[in-house]
Amino acid sequence: MKSFRRLAVVVPVVVAAMAFVPQASGTSLTSPAGTSYTGSVKAESIIQGLYVYSNGTLQETCDSEFDLKAESHGAAVTTLGSVTGFTTSECSLKITLLKPGSFEIHTFAEGLAGSGTITWIGPEITVASSLDCKYKLEKAYVANLTGSNRYEGKTATVDFEAIWAPTGGLFCFKTEWKSFYSVTSPDYLLVD
C-alpha cells in the first residue's frame, strides 16, 4: 500500500514536470507561403558583395553565389542539407570551395515569422594568389535569412559575415568575409 501511495504522489509530479519540457519544433522552407519547398535555394551577392579582408586590410572585393539543397525538414525536424555550390567572380583572386560542408536552418523567435538563421558547418576553401592559402571557418557560421514576407512579398535575403582561419600556406592570415545576398530561386521564400 505504501508503494501505491508513493506512486500516486510521483506520477502527478512527473506529469507536471513534463509540461515544462520544451517541445521539439520543426523547420521547413516554404514557397509560396504554406507550401513546403524542397528545391534548391540559390542566392547571389548584391553590389560586389564578398569582401575579403586579411590582416586588417581590404584585399579584394568579389561577387559570389551559393546554392543550398534541403535534405530533411518538417514537424519536429531541423532543416538540414548540403551546400551544392559556391562560386566567386569579378575578383583577381581565385577562390575555390574544397569542402562544401552542410547547413542547418532554424526559425527566429516570435515576432520575426518567416525568417530564420542558416548555420554553415565544415566548409574549406583555397585562395590562390602568389601564396596559396587554405582556410576553414573559425567556427560554424550563423547567417540571417530574412523571409520574403519582411519585404512585402519580395525576394528573401541572407546577411553573411564569417571569419576564416588559415589551415595551410605561408603568410596566410585570418580572413573576414562580409556579404549581402538576394535569393534568386525560389523568388518567394519563408522559414516556417
Confidence at residue 84, expressed as pLDDT on a 0 to 100 scale = 92
- pLDDT tens for each residue of the chain, 192 residues long: 443 333 333 333 333 333 333 334 568 888 888 888 888 999 998 865 666 666 667 677 888 899 999 888 766 677 889 999 988 888 877 888 999 999 998 887 665 778 888 888 999 998 886 678 899 988 877 888 998 887 666 789 998 888 889 998 887 888 888 888 999 999 899 888
What does the alpha-carbon distance between residue 146 and residue 159 come to, in Å, rounded to a whole number?
Answer: 8
What does the alpha-carbon distance between residue 141 and residue 61 come to, in Å, rounded to a whole number?
Answer: 20
Assigned domain for 150 exists: yes
Domain span holding position 168: 24-191
Assigned domain for 76 exists: yes
Q: Are strands 102-107 and 116-121 parallel, antiparallel or unpaired?
A: antiparallel
Backbone angles phi, psi at 62, to 5 degrees: -140, 160
The total number of structural domains in the chain stands at 1
Query: How would you class 109 by CB atoms within 10 Å of its CB: exposed for 0-12, middle for 13-18, buried for 19 or more?
Result: exposed
Assigned domain for 186 exists: yes
- pTM comes to 0.75
Confidence at residue 58, expressed as pLDDT on a 0 to 100 scale = 66
Confidence at residue 3, expressed as pLDDT on a 0 to 100 scale = 39
- Closest by Cα among 55, 180, 162, 57 to 103: 162
104 close to 119: Cβ distance less than 8 angstroms? yes
Side chain identity, residue 77: V
Assigned domain for 5 exists: no
Assigned domain for 87 exists: yes
What does the alpha-carbon distance between residue 87 and residue 67 come to, in Å, rounded to a whole number?
Answer: 9
Confidence at residue 179, expressed as pLDDT on a 0 to 100 scale = 85
Assigned domain for 51 exists: yes
Assigned domain for 104 exists: yes
Assigned domain for 8 exists: no
